[in-house]
């Protein structure tokens, strides 16, 4: 159990918590089972005019592999994406790779975004697309192509990387302006690392990421088994085997 708070003096928090929690028994932290990633394919045919499809791979090591986790955070900002119609006005997200290379050219695609979910021992990184059913196969091809592109050295520029670094740092700093988010961050870090690491360490780690880090991390991720998930009109979603071969062809 971790008690976390933001915006209160430590001594005041202790004075409130101690009478409420001091009689709880001290127990040894149980060993957490390690995550086992297997990949796979899930399809759900639903009454929907669109096709939603995700391609994802494992982020090995999760938060316990800090360098990989932080590189993936920057990689997600680098690839970016979003909705075809941007409610934030013209230019919002314009410079991310998926916005420039996909959303600006294929209006059959309603949204096309990179995502990442990091847990203690594992994580997921991939692309989520929403498209018209007749364009589903092409959208999957485009997603696979973009993931392969960033895993190939020389396909990402220093300017793109610098922009992604700034975006990652801005997102974290803006989120931490919320006391609720800061409180959650304290709790999560103490549960994972046994301490809260200073924000300066995260900012320095982000700044230290190189182009080689991006391509090598992406290559390592897409070498893991593919996870595919689709919902809606899934009639034209390609087979799992055909998509997996794009990444794991002998």
Q: Which two tokens stand for residue 217?
A: 């991390």
Residue 26 maps to a domain: no
Provide the domain count of the chain: 1
User: What's the CA angle centered on 135, arms 138 and 48, to 5 degrees?
Assistant: 135
Q: What dihedral do alpha carbons 2, 74, 137, 95 form, nearest 10°?
A: 130
Residue 242 maps to a domain: yes
Residues of the chain with pLDDT under 70: 83-94, 250
Residue 14 maps to a domain: no
CA distance 98 to 146: 8
SS3 call for 55: strand
Q: Which two tokens stand for residue 203?
A: 């900012």
CA distance 103 to 86: 10
What pLDDT was estimated at residue 87?
Answer: 44
pLDDT tens digits for range 52-83: 999 999 999 999 999 999 999 999 999 998 76
Residue 145 maps to a domain: yes
The CATH number of whichever domain residue 133 belongs to comes to 3.30.830.10
Residues 6+ apart with CB under 8 A from 235: 45, 133, 136
Residue 234 maps to a domain: yes
Residue 112 maps to a domain: yes
SS3 call for 128: strand
DSSP state of 26: P
Q: Which domain holds residue 88?
A: 39-248
Residue 205 maps to a domain: yes
Residue 78 maps to a domain: yes
């Amino acid at each position: 159990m971790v008690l976390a708070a933001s915006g209160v003096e430590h001594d005041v928090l202790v004075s409130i918590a101690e009478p409420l929690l001091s009689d709880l028994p001290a127990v040894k932290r149980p060993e957490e089972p390690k995550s086992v990633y297997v990949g796979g394919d899930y399809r759900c045919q639903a009454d929907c005019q669109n096709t939603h499809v995700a391609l994802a791979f494992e982020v090995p090591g999760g938060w316990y592999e800090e360098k990989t986790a932080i590189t993936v955070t920057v990689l997600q900002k680098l690839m970016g994406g979003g909705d075809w119609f941007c409610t934030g006005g013209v230019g919002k997200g314009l410079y991310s790779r998926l916005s420039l290379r996909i959303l600006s050219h294929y209006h059959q695609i309603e949204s096309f975004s990179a995502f990442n979910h990091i847990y203690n021992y594992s994580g997921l990184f991939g692309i989520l697309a929403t498209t018209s059913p007749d364009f589903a196969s092409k959208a999957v091809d485009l997603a696979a192509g973009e993931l392969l592109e960033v895993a190939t050295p020389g396909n990402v520029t220093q300017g793109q990387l610098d922009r992604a670094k700034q975006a990652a740092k801005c997102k974290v700093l803006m989120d931490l302006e919320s006391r609720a988010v800061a409180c959650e961050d304290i709790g999560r870090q103490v549960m994972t690392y046994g301490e809260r690491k200073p924000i300066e360490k995260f900012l320095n780690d982000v700044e230290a990421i190189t182009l080689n880090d991006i391509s090598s991390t992406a290559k390592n991720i897409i070498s893991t088994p593919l996870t595919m998930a689709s919902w809606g009109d899934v009639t034209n979603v390609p087979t799992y085997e055909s998509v997996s071969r794009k990444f794991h062809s002998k």
